[in-house]
Amino acid sequence: MKTPAAVALLIAVVTISSVPCYGQDRPKTRDEAEALAAKLQYQRGEVVLKDGLATLKVPDGIEFLNGRDAHTVLVTLWGNPPMPDPLGLLMPVNVGPLNPESWAVIITYEEEGYVKDKDAEKIDYADLLKQMQKDTREANKQREKEGYAPIELVGWAAPPRYDKELHKLYWAKQLKFSGGGEDTLNYNIRMLGRRGVLVLNAVAAMSQLPEIEANAPKILAAIDFNPGNRYADFSEASGDKVASYGIAALVAGGVAAKLGLFKGLWIFLLGAKKFVIIAVVAVAAWVRKLFGKNKAAT
User: In the chain, where are the structural domains located?
Assistant: 30-297
More confident residue, 161 or 207: 161
* pLDDT at site 4: 32
The stretch 169-180 carries a mean pLDDT of 86
Work out the average pLDDT over 78-99.
86
- Whether 9 and 269 have beta carbons less than 8 Å apart is answered as no
Lowest mean pLDDT of 58-72, 81-95, 174-188, name the range. Answer: 174-188
Reported pTM: 0.76
* Percentage, residues of the chain above pLDDT 90: 47
Q: How far apart are CA 147 and CA 160, in angstroms?
A: 31
What is the pLDDT at residue 203?
Answer: 64
Structure confidence at residue 111 (pLDDT): 94
Pairing state between β 197-205 and 184-192: antiparallel
Spatial separation of the C-alpha atoms in residues 7 and 74, rounded to whole Å: 11
Could you tell me the strand order of the sheet in which 223-225 lies? 46-49, 54-57, 223-225
d(CA 170, CA 113): 19
Separation between Cα atoms, residue 234 and residue 115, nearest integer Å: 10
- Residue 39 has what pLDDT? 97
Mean pLDDT over each residue of the chain, to the nearest integer = 78
Q: Percent of the chain at pLDDT above 70? A: 76
